[in-house]
Structure 1
Amino acid sequence: MQELMMIFNKNMSLFILFAIVLGLFDFIVVIIINSKYTKLKNQYKKLIKELETGDVIELLTKNISRNEEFNEKLEKFRKELSMIDSEMKASIKKVGIVRYNAFNDVGSDLSFSIALLDSEDNGIVLSGIYGRNETATFAKPIVRAQSNYPLSAEEIQAIDKARKGQR
């Protein structure tokens, strides 16, 4: 009989523990449902408040009109963004500068070559050659980091610096 009571007490303890866990689970589910109900109730109140101020058809028409205006503005912004993107691709993004002595009798690295390139390595290379008696400036077009005109070693170096992002 005493064994039977121990088994009964043990089973009763497990049953009570199971009931407590089940009760906590139910409590959590009730809290979640209550929060969703509160949110839905607030949305319903807002809708009813809007409906009380005007006709449903009028409100829907107004919202459709706003949506169409928004879509028109969005399309306008997309076109402008596309134009800006095209312009940005053609803008100067890479600059490379090389200073050097073009002649042995002139110091201070007064001669220079500057490469100005866009994102596709198109642009120009400018070179200024400084001598004691005269100065000359050259501009050569660059397409895909190449030119139809012969390039000096310094101009090639300036283009390479620009492509690598070195100044």
Structure 2
Amino acid sequence: MQNLLDIIGKNTALIISFLIVLSFIQFIFIIVINSRFLKLNRTYKKMIKTLEKGDVFDIFSKIATENEEIKDKLDKLHIDLNGLDREVKTAIKKVGIVRYNAFSDVGSDLSFSIALLDSNDNGIVLSGIYGRNETATFAKPIERGQSKYPLSAEEVQAIERAKRKAL
């Protein structure tokens, strides 16, 4: 027993320091717990005031009604979004253009082929052939990157350019 008292006597300053630090940590915990309690108490008081204004069942009924309205709006938005998604898939997203000189006796690259494709490579290819005395314009449907009509090399090139890039 005397040994224990001697150890305590020799380390009194260390023990007191440890107890001060421990007390400080407890004080911090008390402050944190107190602040959480005050926040919870404020929330509780707000809830009690709300409940005093009406019947609990009326409040829950109102919440359920609002929840149903939100669900209906969300369902409508989902339907609208699906419609927009279908519409966007068929919108023109890819454009490819090739300018060229169709006839050697006509200067500049005044002839052209333009491919206008959607995300599934469906669309049209437009070609304008410029000659010295006349100009001709052709349109050919494109399905999955191919046409059932014969395509010129420039039209094929315009389609390939369109496939590689999207607007």
TM, length-normalised to structure 2: 0.86
One-letter amino acid of the counterpart of residue 44, structure 1:
Y
Q: In the comparison of the two structures, how many residue pairs are matched?
A: 164
Using the TM superposition, give the Cα deviation of residue 129 of structure 1 relative to its aligned residue in structure 2, in angstroms: 0.8
CA distance in 1, matches of 2:166, 2:119: 15
CA distance in 2, matches of 1:151, 1:17: 92
Q: How does 1:1-167 map to 2 (within 5 A)?
A: 8=8, 11-165=11-165
Higher mean alpha-carbon deviation, 70-79 vs 115-124, is at 115-124
Q: 1:57 to 1:147 in 2, by over 3 A?
A: same
Unaligned regions of 5+ residues in structure 2, if any?
none
Higher mean alpha-carbon deviation, 62-71 vs 50-59, is at 50-59
Q: 1:157 to 1:38 in 2, by over 3 A?
A: farther
CA distance in 2, matches of 1:48, 1:5: 57
Unaligned regions of 5+ residues in structure 1, if any?
none
One-letter amino acid of the counterpart of residue 85, structure 1:
D
8 A Cα contact 1:116 1:124, kept in partner: yes
8 A Cα contact 1:96 1:166, kept in partner: no
Structure 1 runs (4+) greater than 6 angstroms displaced: none
Q: Percent identity?
A: 62
CA distance in 1, matches of 2:109, 2:166: 18
Using the TM superposition, give the Cα deviation of residue 115 of structure 1 relative to its aligned residue in structure 2, in angstroms: 0.8
One-letter amino acid of the counterpart of residue 160, structure 2:
D
| Aligned-pair Cα RMSD in Å | 2.3
